[in-house]
């Protein structure tokens, strides 16, 4: 499938900023499930963009501007060929062993409620990890209501779980926290999703999780849609949690009244 992606972020400042620096994790890599045919990053005002790679192997582009800066527009776009691999992730760059992804973070620390939730599922599927992970994905979907505007990027998995609602980031981090609590390595994935209903305009990118199963490797689980990843998913960045895979992280000096507008288009070309 040929997927066309356009992701534009526009910043406006009531009073000019003196300095802005941003690190972007918005560039996908090739693996057996996808091939990046073209990819562009543009910034207005024009500035030099430095290409790097972080510890997880994510492609990072860093831009910096000196002011006065009234506004900033960053656009990424490109074509990605995707392939259905039955959810199995092969051919990715793996700088760390799977056990690293048993590590807790503030966003994915399993609360007692999440631990009980995970142990209940483990008890129903004591022998095989793959059925256990499918059951976990279904249980997260059944437990949580998708609701925007209630959580934010600082919301921990336990808080979202207790509230019973959140967005794809929260679903993914609850799945990760639960999987790690029963000894299964799991990691956060940020990317894009091609909707099957024909809706191409979206408010943001998408997030899901990958879990490691011996003899199979990494497998992608999307708790929001309740199926393993398919050619509808474009994989961009991985990390222990959202913060490590955030599409944008940055700082600014000076300036007040920042306003941000995001538009994402994902469609079949």
> 164-185 pLDDT, tens per residue?
999 999 999 999 999 999 999 9
Residues 6+ apart with CB under 8 A from 93: 29, 57
Q: Which of 126 and 216 is assigned the larger pLDDT?
A: 216
Residues 6+ apart with CB under 8 A from 129: 184, 211, 213, 214
Which pLDDT belongs to residue 257?
76
pLDDT tier at 46, thresholds 50, 70, 90: confident
Domains, the chain, in order of start with CATH, read 2-81+247-268 (2.60.40.2250), 87-245 (3.10.620.30)
User: Among positive and negative, which fits the CA dihedral 244, 250, 251, 256?
Assistant: negative
Which pLDDT belongs to residue 149?
86
pTM score above 0.85: yes
Query: Scanning the structure block, which residue is given the tokens 């994905």?
Result: 137
For range 223-247, the mean pLDDT: 97
> Do residues 78 and 5 touch, judged by C-beta distance below 8 A?
yes
Residues 6+ apart with CB under 8 A from 86: 228
For range 223-228, the mean pLDDT: 97
Average pLDDT, the chain: 94
pLDDT tier at 90, thresholds 50, 70, 90: very high
Q: Is the pLDDT of residue 254 over 80?
A: no
- Token duo for residue 238: 């991985």
Query: Scanning the structure block, which residue is given the tokens 């994510």?
Result: 58
Burial 230-246 (b: 16+ CB within 10 A, else e): bbbbbbbbbbbbbebbb
For range 257-261, the mean pLDDT: 84
Which element (helix H / strand E) includes 121? helix 112-124
């Amino acid at each position: 499938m040929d997927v066309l992606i356009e992701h534009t972020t526009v910043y406006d400042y009531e009073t000019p900023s003196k300095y802005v620096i941003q690190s972007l994790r918005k560039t996908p890599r090739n693996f057996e499930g996808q091939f990046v045919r073209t990819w562009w990053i543009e910034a207005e005002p024009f500035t030099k963009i430095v290409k790097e790679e972080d510890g997880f192997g994510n492609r990072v582009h860093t831009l910096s501007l000196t002011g006065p800066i009234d506004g900033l527009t960053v656009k990424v776009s490109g074509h990605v060929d995707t392939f259905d691999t039955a959810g199995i992730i092969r051919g990715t760059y793996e700088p760390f062993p799977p056990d690293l992804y048993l590590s807790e973070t503030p966003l994915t620390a399993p609360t007692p409620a999440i631990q009980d939730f995970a142990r209940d599922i483990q008890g129903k599927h004591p022998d095989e990890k793959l059925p256990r992970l499918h059951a976990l994905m279904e249980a997260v979907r059944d437990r949580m209501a998708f609701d925007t505007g209630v959580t934010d990027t600082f919301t921990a998995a336990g808080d979202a779980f207790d509230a019973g609602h959140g967005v794809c980031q929260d679903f993914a981090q609850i799945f990760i926290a639960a999987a790690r609590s029963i000894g299964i390595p799991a990691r956060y994935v940020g990317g894009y999703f091609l909707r099957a209903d024909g809706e191409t305009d979206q408010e943001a990118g998408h997030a899901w999780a990958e879990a490691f199963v011996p003899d199979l490797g990494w497998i992608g689980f999307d708790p929001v849609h309740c199926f393993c990843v398919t050619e509808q998913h474009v994989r961009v960045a991985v990390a222990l949690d959202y913060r490590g895979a955030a599409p944008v992280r940055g700082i600014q000096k000076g300036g007040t009244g920042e306003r941000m507008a995001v538009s994402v288009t994902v469609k079949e070309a």
